[in-house]
């Protein structure tokens, strides 16, 4: 190996060693001078572009690309029997460097004319130009070979203008750019260096175009991905569809207590019907979420439920009136205080009551039933009662559980009035 070639490889190794940082340096690398259009002192393999931030398409280190070009030379010479001849003004290093730059611009949104102009500007000593846009997610597409070969013809003309002597090579200009493009296509689509070389050489041997190493990620979508629900709730479905990837599985979870997954909450198929229930709403409008998860990602089903009829309860004193009252008067040996809940609950709702008051000490009553009405009895003439009656606070708490939904109502809170119990002597 000559000293000059060894120096090139040392430069390549130094460039590659700096090529793994995904952030661009604040200072742009120097562009090659006009006198040395193929110099590797130009933009590094993963740092050129003139745009701050992370890369869109990251290309391999140039020492890998140059190693491929060297192996391609050997392939043409030994396997295809192509003798080397002084046939191009573009040396191998320049062919690799500027072809990779052209492909970098093309895969990052630039059209043929723009990519060519920006490479030629770099050859003339200008800083690397900006990328034109982000590529789509997924498999990275490369330009048509006719564009690439046209770029190679223009590169040949530019080098000839610099007065460069002819370089000896076994690889014709078309083969050089086409197979370098194929190598780069495999590399940016997840193949390592040896695999990319092997796939290109297989094509040269007539084996056809091999698939890249890119594995589509698992992606699932929901249809619908949002659901409007009335105050009464109910049962609803969404279809979970795998739109990308293979051997993918998903799971799901409700992020709100009043939403329950009934079936289809996990699977691996192309489309799965997920069934869920939403409980009745006894308050203001509310939102809930179901999360569908798969490896490294997830999506959300949004549930928007209308406001419901406010849950309330009333108290009556049958010995006094059939109308609602805020005071239950204990005047008889067996006086009832009756409570009735309302609010659009289903027939399966469970009503849990808790009542507290003072009557010669603390007294409480507890009751749970599917009946919306509850009553307790008390006797007149107890401790502290008088002929005119003595009032005490009557504290009542009602919790209604209706499927996955529940609501708690307390006397003297929210829209409920405070209640009293009044004790009379018999």
Chain position carrying tokens 């040395």: 36
Round to the nearest angstrom and report the end-to-end CA distance of the chain.
121
Token pair for 334: 């067996």
Name the band, by pLDDT with cuts 50, 70 and 90, for residue 56. Answer: low
Q: Which of 170, 204, 238 is the last residue of a domain?
A: 204
Per-residue pLDDT averaged across 297-322, rounded? 93
In a domain, 228, yes or no: yes
Whether residue 210 is contained in a domain is answered as no
Band of residue 282 on the pLDDT scale cut at 50, 70, 90? confident
Q: Which of 279, 305, 331 is the last residue of a domain?
A: 305
Whether residue 259 sits in one domain with residue 181: no
Chain-centroid distance, C-alpha 360: 63
Q: Average pLDDT in the 376-388 region?
A: 96
Q: Considering the domain boundaries, does residue 209 fall inside one?
A: no
What is the rounded average pLDDT of the residues 364-369?
97
Instruction: Look up the CATH number of the domain holding residue 381.
Output: 2.60.40
Residues 319, 296 within the same domain: no
Same domain, yes or no: 24 and 161: yes
Q: What is the pLDDT of residues 132-179, one digit of tens each?
A: 988 777 889 999 999 999 999 999 999 999 888 999 999 999 999 999
Distance CA 347, CA 370 (A): 7
169-208 pLDDT, tens per residue?
A: 999 999 999 999 999 999 999 999 999 999 999 999 999 9
Q: Could you give the percent of the chain with pLDDT greater than 90?
A: 73
Asked whether the predicted pLDDT for residue 119 surpasses 50, the reply is: yes
Give the C-alpha separation, 345 to 400, whole Å. 8
Residue 304 reports pLDDT greater than 90: yes
291 compared with 215, residue with greater pLDDT:
291
Task: Tell me if 211 is assigned to some domain.
Answer: no
Report the pLDDT averaged over residues 303-324.
Answer: 92
Residues 68 and 175 grouped into a single domain? yes
pLDDT digits (tens, 9 = 90+) for 227-276: 999 988 999 999 999 998 888 999 999 999 999 999 999 998 789 999 99
Per-residue model confidence (pLDDT) at position 346:
83
Residue 155 lies in a domain: yes
Look at residues 272, 305, 338 and tell me which one is the last residue of a structural domain: 305
Mean pLDDT (the chain) is 86
Pair (377, 417) in one structural domain: yes
Res. 34: pLDDT tops 80: no
Q: For position 229, which CATH number holds?
A: 2.60.40.10
> Could you tell me if 171 and 244 lie in one domain?
no
Q: Does 273 fall in a domain? A: yes
Contact (CB, 8 A) for 200 and 179: yes
Same domain, 179 and 316: no
CB neighbour burial string for 264-277, b if at least 16 within 10 angstroms, e if fewer: bbbbeeeebebebb
Centre a 10 Å sphere on the Cβ of residue 365 and count the other Cβ atoms it contains.
Answer: 16
Residues 87-105 have a mean pLDDT of: 95
Q: Kindly state whether residue 233 falls inside one of the protein's structural domains.
A: yes
The residue segments making up the domain with residue 78 are 3-204
Same domain, yes or no: 321 and 409 = yes
- Rounded to two decimals, the pTM is 0.55
Instruction: Check whether residue 354 and residue 400 sit in a common domain.
Output: yes
CA distance 99 to 95: 6
Q: Do 340 and 291 reside in the same domain of the chain?
A: no
pLDDT-derived band of residue 38, with 50, 70 and 90 as boundaries? very low
Residue 210 and residue 190: Cα distance in Å, rounded?
13
Q: 365 and 242 in one domain?
A: no
Q: Is residue 327 located within the same domain as residue 261?
A: no
| Position 41 in a domain | yes
Q: How many domains does the chain have?
A: 3
């Amino acid at each position: 190996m000559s000293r000059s070639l060894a120096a090139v490889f040392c430069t390549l190794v130094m460039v590659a060693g700096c090529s793994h940082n995904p952030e661009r340096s604040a200072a742009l690398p120097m562009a090659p001078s006009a006198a040395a259009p193929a110099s590797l002192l130009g933009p590094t393999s993963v740092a050129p572009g003139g745009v701050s931030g992370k890369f869109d398409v990251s290309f391999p280190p140039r020492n890998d690309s140059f190693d491929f070009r060297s192996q391609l030379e050997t392939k043409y010479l030994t396997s295809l029997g192509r003798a080397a001849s002084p046939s191009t003004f573009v040396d191998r290093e320049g062919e690799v460097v500027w072809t990779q730059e052209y492909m970098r611009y093309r895969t990052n949104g630039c059209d043929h004319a723009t990519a060519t102009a920006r490479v030629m500007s770099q050859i003339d000593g200008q800083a690397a130009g900006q990328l034109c846009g982000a590529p789509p997610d997924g498999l990275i597409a490369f330009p048509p070979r006719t564009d690439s070969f046209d770029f190679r013809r223009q590169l040949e003309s530019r080098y000839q203008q610099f007065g460069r002597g002819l370089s000896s090579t076994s690889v014709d200009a078309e083969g050089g750019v086409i197979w370098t493009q194929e190598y780069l296509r495999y590399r940016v689509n997840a193949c390592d260096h040896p695999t990319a070389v092997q796939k290109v050489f297989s094509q040269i041997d007539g084996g056809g175009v091999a698939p890249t190493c890119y594995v589509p990620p698992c992606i699932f979508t929901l249809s619908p991905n949002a659901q409007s629900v009335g105050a009464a709730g109910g049962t609803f479905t969404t279809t979970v569809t795998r739109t990308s990837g293979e051997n993918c599985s998903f799971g799901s979870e409700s992020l709100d207590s009043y939403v329950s997954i009934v079936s289809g909450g996990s699977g691996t198929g192309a489309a799965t019907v997920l069934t869920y229930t939403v409980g009745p709403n006894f308050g203001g409008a509310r939102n809930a979420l179901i999360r569908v998860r798969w490896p490294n990602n997830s999506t959300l089903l949004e549930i928007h439920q209308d406001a419901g009829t406010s849950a309330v309860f009333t108290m009556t004193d049958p010995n006094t009136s059939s109308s609602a009252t805020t005071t239950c008067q204990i005047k008889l040996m067996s006086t009832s205080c009756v409570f009735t809940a309302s609010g659009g609950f289903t027939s399966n709702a469970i009503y849990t009551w808790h009542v507290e008051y003072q009557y010669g000490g603390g007294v409480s009553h507890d009751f749970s039933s599917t009946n919306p009405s509850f009553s307790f009895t008390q006797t007149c003439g107890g401790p502290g009662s008088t002929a005119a009656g003595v009032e005490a606070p009557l504290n009542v708490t009602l919790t209604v559980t209706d499927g996955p939904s529940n609501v708690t109502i307390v006397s003297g809170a929210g829209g409920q009035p405070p209640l009293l119990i009044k004790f009379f002597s018999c």
